[in-house]
Homo-oligomer: A and B are copies of this chain.
Amino acid sequence: MAVTATTVAETCAAAKRAARTLGSAPTEAKNAALEATARLLEERTAEILEANAADLADERAAGLSAALKDRLTLTPERVAAMAEGVRAVAALADPVGEELERKTLESGIDLRKLRVPLGVIAVVYEARPNVTIDCAALTIKSGNAIVLRGSSYAERSNGALAAIVREALAEAGLPEDAVVLLAGGGHEELAELATQEGLVDLLIPRGGEGLKEAIKAVATVPVMYAAAGNCHVYVDAGADLEMARQIAINAKVQRPGVCNAAETLLIDAAVAPEFVPAILGELAAAGVELVGDERVRELAGEVEVGAATAEDWDREYLELKLAVAVVDGVEEAIEHVNAHGTGHSEAIVSGDAEAAEEFVAGVDAAAVYVNASTRFTDGFLYGMGAEIGNSTQKLHARGPIGMRELTTFKYVAHGDGQVRG
């Protein structure tokens, strides 16, 4: 393995030095590194799959669920998809140096607000080796260095992948320490990473509430959580019920394990007698376990609906389970969403423009959908090229975290001797 990390602080310091070079590297050099990464991924697929096989054969992997094992597994197709993703990032416009504003101050100073890289970005992620490549590609193109801290389950896979990116950086004449992989280690290492003030400019934890709480407790560096989504679909009195049916099913069933999938269905009392039995039957037929409030359960007919507990409204199931409630109008729907949602993606189905507008204005979330599924919140679908996660924070980045969200800006002022009077 080409990556021999020493201490966390030393690794971060090396990344910081590399970041300065990468921050002013020309677009061509960054693209050359990405092209080389894609090529090496293809040339070395066998080597990558071998490392991955070793991770999968490790006794620690034996305890993983089928779903987690699937996420850890690489195939020739998945490696090819990574290479394709890297080339897609290379094709994106370089965000660095973009002039966001320009004005001449009263004093005659020429003031420009220019987009610049953040510096060093640390990403803590789950056992999905492709994240290693996805994140490294985005940070290289945006002129940042990255400190990767993957799962120990994927140690060998991540090592092989990081080594390829480092080789590609060197080939392009860029510092290989712009991509560094921490050697594994436990909570102590995580705490050390989260406290590298002055070296780590942004820490992005991807993962569940446990990781979030662990980092919240110790972090002193700036953190952006790629966080949980407790998303709602609200079927308004003015909804086209066939459309509502399709959206509700899609938001829950199409891919239940992701953060923009729906976890709660809210139905206006005016359409509940007609809509509730039909949608619950269809959801149950799709294998969805249902819990509901009293009004839902009364209307459920022969469909089995458990009694929702207080916790159910706050749960991100990430599986085929859905909480269902009847509400009295859009105002109550908004109250419910704001009280229980995580500010990720929320949808209203309604033909009533006024109700839709009220929902859009009242709901406090990164993305609000009118007559569309919550499943569309995604950096790629939003035309941002790729994403490193989804932010439910309000500061800096909200929604998909793409390349621009990995930058900051700098005011650059040129004068000819101006002093303040």
Contact = CB atoms under 8 A, between A and B. Distances in A.
Interface of A: 20, 23-24, 103, 105-107, 109, 111, 118-119, 201-202, 216, 220, 222, 224, 240, 243, 246-247, 249-251, 254-255, 356, 360-362, 364-373, 375-377, 381-383, 393-396, 398-399, 408-421
B222 A105 contact: no
Given A103-B383, A224-B395, A394-B408, A372 B24 contact: no
Given A107-B381, A246-B419, A377-B411, 17 more contacts: A103-B383, A105-B381, A105-B382, A107-B372, A109-B376, A222-B393, A240-B417, A246-B417, A250-B419, A251-B419, A255-B420, A368-B411, A371-B414, A371-B418, A372-B418, A372-B419, A373-B419
Contacts of A375: 419-420
A157 to B, nearest CB: 28
Given A111-B382, A394-B222, A365 B410 contact: yes
A254 B371 contact: no
Contacts of A356: 414
Given A367-B413, A419-B250, A419-B254, A381 B220 contact: no
Contacts of A247: 417, 419
Chain A binding surface SS class: mixed
Given A361-B24, A376-B105, A395-B396, A250 B371 contact: no
28 contacts: A20-B362, A103-B383, A105-B382, A109-B369, A119-B364, A201-B394, A202-B394, A246-B419, A249-B419, A251-B419, A254-B419, A254-B421, A367-B413, A368-B410, A369-B413, A369-B414, A369-B415, A371-B414, A371-B415, A371-B418, A372-B414, A372-B416, A372-B419, A373-B418, A376-B420, A394-B408, A395-B408, A399-B411
Contact of A370 (B105, B367, B395, B414): B414
Given A119-B364, A222-B395, A410-B365, A417 B381 contact: no
Nearest to A421: B254
A381 B420 CA distance: 10
Contact of A394 (B119, B376, B382): B119
Contact of A410 (B20, B367, B418): B367
A107 B413 contact: no
A356 B415 CA distance: 11
A370 B413 contact: yes
A121 B415 CA distance: 35
A216 B408 CA distance: 22
Contacts of A399: 411
Contacts of A398: 408-411
Nearest to A399: B411
Nearest to A339: B198
A368 B409 CA distance: 11
Given A395-B408, A398-B408, A413 B372 contact: yes
Nearest to A97: B361
